[in-house]
Homo-oligomer: A and B are copies of this chain.
Amino acid sequence: METIESMKRISRKNIISPKGFKAVGIHCGLKHKKNDLALLVSEVPASVAGVFTTNAIQAAPLSVTKQVVYETQKMQAVVINSGNANACTGKQGMKDALTMQQKTAEHLGIDQNLVGIASTGVIGEQMKMEPLLAGIEQLQPLDSLEGSIQFSQAILTTDTVTKNTAYATAIDDREVVVAGVAKGSGMIEPNMATMLGFITTDANIESEHLQQALKDITDVTFNSITVDGDTSTNDMVLVMANGMAGNNALTPSHPDWQSFLNALHAVARDLAKMIAKDGEGATKLIETKVTGAVSDEEARKIAKSVVGSPLVKTAVFGCDANWGRIIAAVGYSGATIDPDDIKIYIGTTLVVENGEPIPFSEDELLIYLKQHEVKFVVELNQGTGEGTAWGCDLTYDYVQINATYRT
């Protein structure tokens, strides 16, 4: 993606790289010490698109924000707390979510229907509204790098690093910037996108087309990662497009439509990979590319089966070139395969051909597997379908983090 001529990755990449956005993050008291309240604001109401968890149990903030995305179809601000998911909190939880939206709108002096909200953290505990509301009063969005850093910190839970990216592209000979920030870590099995992701752009585009673009790229980015197979109750990705780049309105027939899609795709893919790499307890990013499947969809299904396998994940943690677990995960993926016509590469080393073992140097693969990013390639020879998925290794730290999460 980085090689596309008309697009460049922005070095000082952050959520306010596009024109007309401000951000801030503070500590309000839902967590012990770390930042736990974040606000992103656009100078003007922005076109908005969103994708939400497919879990049948959905947290209160999702109802509130879906209303903004699907009914208002414009968003000017989004406020996020970490430390409490406001999920499975019943009527009180819904009331609290609406209050969070209302107080943010009042504080900013904008219409309540233009404010999105998101929450992440423990499920099943009522929100502490006193510190939350006091915190909202203190939010002063900044157009500086500092504000953006605070924002990206305040949305984290067990994440160990902040996740930012941005790309610039040319549309109508104007520079349009697309930037994104995300949190991930645990309960990551996006069937949409089990995480929080916020993407900003100064592109001029109606919500309808923005929604279509987001949906199209979600399957091959956020929906192609897994940390632990647990689909969360709270996750969403929002895109706000405030039009301040001044391009002609983007539609699929605009000559630069593909440039915009490429930038949006690159931002989403970067965030997805950063989430996978920073999965709870992870030491490594695992990428699996599948080619020759009967369809792209099946290729992604197989790739996700491999990166999601606890046995593959622990083998990668142990730097063990145990390809038997890779082929077993291909086998139980449910996709169409011919066991006698499979090639598997670990890095660039062929380890299986026609379903039979190929001798390889364990020492060389050990060196390869000690790297922070490992790649498997599975060639099926059944068709032209291709797909890639990303995951992470399964480590002692994953167990430690999740055995003691509430304590």
Q: Name which residue of chain B comes closest to A124, CB basis.
A: B324
Contact across chains for A230 and B405 when beta carbons are under 8 A apart: no
Contact across chains for B232 and A310 when beta carbons are under 8 A apart: no
Q: Does A140 contact B (CB under 8 A)?
A: no
Q: Does A231 contact B (CB under 8 A)?
A: yes
Which of A18-26, A34-42, A249-257, A353-361 faces chain B?
A353-361
Contact across chains for B233 and A331 when beta carbons are under 8 A apart: yes
Contact across chains for A403 and B318 when beta carbons are under 8 A apart: yes
In addition to A187-B328, A233-B327, 14 A-B residue pairs with Cβ atoms within 8 Å of each other are A54-B332, A57-B332, A58-B331, A87-B328, A88-B352, A89-B356, A89-B357, A90-B354, A124-B323, A187-B325, A230-B328, A310-B310, A311-B402, A318-B407
Q: Name which residue of chain B comes closest to A329, CB basis.
A: B230
* Complex Cα gap A229–B398 (Å): 17
Q: Which of B123, B332, B403 contacts A327, CB < 8 Å?
A: B123
Chain A to chain B contacts (Cβ below 8 Å), 14 pairs: A57-B328, A57-B331, A57-B337, A57-B339, A88-B357, A124-B324, A186-B311, A230-B332, A314-B399, A314-B401, A315-B402, A318-B403, A394-B402, A398-B399
Contact across chains for A399 and B406 when beta carbons are under 8 A apart: no
Contact across chains for A88 and B324 when beta carbons are under 8 A apart: yes
Q: Name which residue of chain B comes closest to A397, CB basis.
A: B399
* Complex Cα gap A235–B359 (Å): 26
**Also in contact, A399 and B402, with CB within 8 A (given A88-B357, A123-B327, A352-B124):** no
* Complex Cα gap A92–B187 (Å): 43
Q: Name which residue of chain B comes closest to A186, CB basis.
A: B311
Q: Does A102 contact B (CB under 8 A)?
A: no
Q: Does A125 contact B (CB under 8 A)?
A: yes
**Also in contact, A88 and B355, with CB within 8 A (given A123-B328, A339-B56):** yes
* Complex Cα gap A401–B403 (Å): 18
Q: Which residues of B contact A259 (CB under 8 A)?
A: none
**Also in contact, A231 and B352, with CB within 8 A (given A318-B403, A403-B320):** no
* Complex Cα gap A228–B398 (Å): 15
Q: Name which residue of chain B comes closest to A313, CB basis.
A: B402
Contact digits for A50-65, partner B, Cβ 8 Å, 1 yes 0 no: 0000111110000000
A362 to chain B, nearest CB (A): 9
Q: Name which residue of chain B comes closest to A328, CB basis.
A: B233
| Oligomeric state, in copies | 2
Partner-B contacts on A (CB < 8 A): 54-58, 85, 87-92, 122-126, 186-187, 189, 191, 228-233, 308-311, 314-315, 317-318, 320, 322-325, 327-333, 335, 337, 339-340, 352, 354-357, 394-396, 398-407
Contact across chains for A123 and B339 when beta carbons are under 8 A apart: no
Q: Which residues of B contact A126 (CB under 8 A)?
A: 357
Q: Which of B90, B315, B323 contacts A405, CB < 8 Å?
A: B315
Contact across chains for A230 and B310 when beta carbons are under 8 A apart: yes
Contact across chains for B311 and A187 when beta carbons are under 8 A apart: yes
Contact across chains for B339 and A58 when beta carbons are under 8 A apart: yes
A364 to chain B, nearest CB (A): 16
Q: Which residues of B contact A405 (CB under 8 A)?
A: 315, 318, 320, 322
* Complex Cα gap A308–B189 (Å): 13
Contact across chains for A357 and B318 when beta carbons are under 8 A apart: no
Q: Which residues of B contact A57 (CB under 8 A)?
A: 327-328, 330-332, 337, 339, 355
* Complex Cα gap A333–B191 (Å): 12
